[in-house]
Amino acid sequence: MENSGSMDNAMQTAINLVSKMHHEFLMPEHLLYGLVQQEEFKAALWQIDVNDEDIKNELKEWLDVQECVTVGHTIPTPSMQFTEIIKNALTLAVKRNARFVDVREYSEAILMLQDSMAAYVLGSKIEGYEEQFLNTLETFYSERNMEEYENEGPMGADDVQPDSWKSLVTDISKEAETHTPLIGRERELDRTIQILCRMEKNNPLHVGDPGVGKTAIIYGLAKRINKNDVPPRLRGCKIYGVEMGQLLAGAQYRGDFEKRIKIVLDGAAKENAIIYLDEIHNIIGAGRGSDGGPDASNILKPYLESGRIKFIGATTHEEYNRKMAKDRSITRRFQMIDIKEPSVDEAIRIIIGLQPSLQSFHNVVYRKDTLEYAVRASAKHITDRRLPDKAIDLIDEAGAMLEVHPLNRTRQYVTKAHIDEVLTKVCKIQANALKDNDNTQLEFLRQYILDKIYGQDKAVNEVTDAVMMAKAGLNDDNKPLASLLFVGPTGVGKTEVARVLAKELGVELVRFDMSEYTEKHAVAKLIGSPAGY
């Protein structure tokens, strides 16, 4: 049994809200928020003197404090309570011999939940009028569903409206006009255009680490197409983004997901369209049931082979090797383009190109030397992410901080001190490690150590010389300031020299007493116990 058109719309609104708020799970609260947006639902609430804005505000406050997912792209997963709603709504529809599973059934299923914020919010507002509210919902929505059914008939892949497939995709060509500009990447963009102009296997595949700018290249391509700055073969093309999560949303029964993909692909085939598949590795296994059967990749293969639609994919090296590399029939139809992390100089050029839009958004001023410092500092201190994404985040965060805590001046300037503060707070980097420009204390470092360490003048000289050489910039940034080995009998001051040096440099001393690791099993203190212990 299928959902009614109104419920499909509510489901789609809920999915969009999950993506917008970066939540991991699709919950009943998202669904109720989607229902409250509909005019029939609002009218039913007004019949019992309930303001729909009160429900939306309470739901928004609760959703705002829910945990967000910030790493990578994830497909929203239905929560246990959301799954329970679907089961209960279907059961209620079957008992009533309904043609569709409609809003009344889902609303009643929400009220049946235990320990649910959605059930509490809706139940508290309609308390004492539950039956009247549900009957009003059934009346309002049944009239709308009957009109849709008589006018359009059951919606299938053959009688779908010409432009209805566009509701399942994102119009990147339209959004490109307001997107941040693409700076650099001329070689990768030219290679992408060249592959798109091939007669066969004209499907580029962008592979690169998260944050290097794979999606930005697509928006840059869309802008060039809009300006007709492409070969004649690509002029007039439209780029549409397709996400598996959007196609899977609300697909309860076998065949729903496949039907949606066919609707999108058949609609795109009638236009001069380019389909962008971000996180393309998700097509492997998407829509496949527990008993096997075809998945999204099998449905795409005929379209990839025919060349009627051009596809552009994007994924990371890890996901490509883990999922896509095993399916030769898919990878051979794509031409891989390696999107490498830009160098520091290239990243600086990208950041300077984004300077006007960042300044306009935060109403602050970024100095050129501050932007360069932010790029170099992010490249040096943030090792688990890639340029230019980590540098953009750093500069964006500094602008937001100055916008929230403005200085007493007409123009707000983002300085290196703001960048250091963001690195210290957000990236958990010790403030003293960022003080590379203030080396005045090194002039007296030797004397400070000698005042506390007696009889080890030669060793102290070697230590201070190594530190000064590193601070002068004569060592590799990817290596420590110095690697020192103190050798001598017990009690001569080896540990004390290390302790005093750490204190004078303002860094934390982490001490490992290796006498505690003489036994083989003692390594568990460092790396943890093996499985089963």
Q: Could you give the CA distance from residue 81 to residue 73 in angstroms, rounded to a whole number?
A: 23
Predicted confidence (pLDDT) at residue 268 exceeds the cutoff of 90: no
Query: How does residue 154 score in pLDDT terms, banded at 50, 70 and 90?
Result: very low
Q: Tell me the pLDDT tens digit for each residue of 66-123.
A: 888 765 555 678 889 998 998 888 888 888 777 778 888 899 999 999 888 999 999 9
Q: Return the closest-CA partner of residue 8 out of 139, 136, 101.
A: 101
Q: Is there a contact between 149 and 137 (Cβ–Cβ < 8 Å)?
A: no
How confident is the model at residue 153, as a pLDDT? 43
Domains and CATH numbers, the chain: 5-149 (1.10.1780.10), 168-338 (3.40.50.300), 344-433 (1.10.8.60), 439-516 (no CATH)
Global pTM value:
0.59
> Is residue 338 scored above 90 in pLDDT?
yes
Sign of the torsion angle spanned by Cα atoms 513, 514, 519, 525: positive
Q: Using one digit for the tens of pLDDT, what is the confidence trace for 315-327?
A: 999 999 988 888 8
Q: Which of 23-37, 145-159, 274-288 has the lowest mean pLDDT?
A: 145-159
In whole angstroms, what is the distance from residue 498 CA to residue 143 CA? 81
Higher-pLDDT residue of 261 and 62 is 62
**Contact criterion met (CB below 8 Å) for 392 and 419:** no
CA dist., res. 119 & res. 497, Å (int): 65
Residue 73, pLDDT score:
52
- Does residue 346 or residue 295 have the better pLDDT? 346
In the predicted structure, residue 158 carries a pLDDT above the cut 80:
no
In angstroms, rounded to a whole number, what is the distance separating the alpha carbons of residues 335 and 270?
Answer: 24
Residue 81: CB partners within 8 Å, gap ≥ 6? Answer: 27, 28, 113, 116
Mean residue pLDDT across the chain: 83
